[in-house]
Amino acid sequence: MSAAPEIIDVGDADFYADVLERSHRTPVVVDFWAPWCGPCRQLAPTLERLADEAGGAFVLAKLNIDENPEVARQYGVQSIPLVVAFRDGQPVDQFLGLQPEPVVREFVRKLAPSEADLLVAQAEELAGSGDHETASASLNAALSLEPRHTGALLSMARLLGSRGMIEGALEMLSRVVPGDPADEAEVDRLSAELRMREHGERDEGELRARVASEPDDLDAKLDLGRSLGARGEYEEALELLLEVVRRNADFADQGARKAMLDLFEVLGAGDPLTRRYRSALAQVLFH
């Protein structure tokens, strides 16, 4: 087999990282094969030659099903050779059995980035350089081609959010079609961050003065907690919000509890503050 970096061996242990995660950056074509399979040995040189020709446009990952039965079982592999293409962590196309080179060539050709993909990549580069207007135009063009393009919707949400257009950003996220767990996690995280930002423009000094002068003003404590969360002062925000929950869990349509859940989403499940305050919240609500 070629030692080219676009041709790799994968197995049960590294399939997630080398195929699913990698396919978010570059399409990955998985060749399910076994040493005893004659058609597999005939197909392999064609796949490897096309991978070499592509020069990194896709990765060919070869998986020996005899040595790696778990992945083969997960994807229901019953006959080989089976070739499956992955993009964005999901299988998007496949073929079974020995196929002539023109068929295989067309199979890998379709993995090339779509016009919408290219527009999103262009938009992200433009946004990174500060050209938000042109980036927005590129994203709108991508969405006119593929209205449910996940990358375009996420990028547009980030762009709108950075410009303070929170409602529009959340509307973009609502259009993302569920499917890929990584995309769903990013939608949840970004939605929580945007909801926090809605409260980031409040006058912190005024809110602190209200809390100091009226310790029982739950509305002021809720607003201050939200505002501090939007500014990244997470521990103080969570402490204030937890106090509101202790006083009245249903206050403002459970606003403090919802704000805490948003902060947990922004911080991530593994953050020490998330673990500490999630436990404290549960104790207040369920004990």
The model's pLDDT over 137-175, given as tens digits with 9 standing for 90+, comes to 999 999 999 999 999 999 999 999 999 899 999 999 999
**83-138 tens-digit pLDDT:** 999 988 889 899 999 999 999 999 998 887 788 988 998 999 999 999 999 999 99
N-terminal to C-terminal alpha carbon distance within the chain: 62
Give the residues across from 83 on adjacent strands: 31, 95
| pLDDT band at 181; cut points 50, 70, 90 | confident
| Measured CA angle at 262 (ends 130, 259), to 5 deg | 115
CATH H superfamily, domain 204-286: Tetratricopeptide repeat domain (1.25.40.10)
**Are the C-beta atoms of 45 and 100 separated by less than 8 Å?**
no
Q: Phi and psi at residue 111, in whole multiples of 5°?
A: -80, -10
| Measured CA angle at 48 (ends 13, 20), to 5 deg | 30
In the 8-state DSSP scheme, what is residue 177? P
Give the residues across from 90 on adjacent strands: 87
d(CA 56, CA 71): 24
d(CA 39, CA 46): 12
Higher pLDDT pick, 53 / 200: 53
Domain with CATH 3.40.30.10 in the chain: 7-109
In the 8-state DSSP scheme, what is residue 28? E
Dihedral sign of CA atoms 212, 214, 218, 224 in order: negative
**271-280 tens-digit pLDDT:** 999 999 999 9
Nearest CA-CA partner of 21 in 185, 137, 192: 185
d(CA 100, CA 175): 40
pLDDT of residue 121: 87
User: Is residue 1 over pLDDT 80?
Assistant: no
Domain with CATH 1.25.40.10 in the chain: 115-197, 204-286
**pLDDT (average), residues 238-250:** 96
pLDDT of residue 55: 83
d(CA 280, CA 277): 5
Burial of 96 (0-12, 13-18, 19+ CB in 10 A): middle
- Tokens representing residue 18 in the block: 């080398």
d(CA 200, CA 179): 31
Residue 146: Cβ within 10 Å count:
17
| pLDDT band at 2; cut points 50, 70, 90 | very low
pLDDT of residue 5: 66
pLDDT above 70 as % of the chain: 98
User: Is residue 4 over pLDDT 70?
Assistant: no
- Tokens representing residue 130 in the block: 């500060």
Higher pLDDT pick, 259 / 54: 259
Which CATH class for the 115-197 domain? mainly alpha
Element of type H or E holding 89: none
pLDDT of residue 110: 86
The mean predicted confidence, pLDDT, of the chain is: 91
d(CA 278, CA 260): 8
**pLDDT (average), residues 63-84:** 93
Q: Mind telling me the catalytic residues?
A: 37, 40
Element of type H or E holding 62: strand 59-64
| Measured CA angle at 204 (ends 243, 254), to 5 deg | 35
> Is the CATH number 3.40.190.10 carried by domain 7-109?
no
| pLDDT band at 200; cut points 50, 70, 90 | low
Residue 145: Cβ within 10 Å count:
13
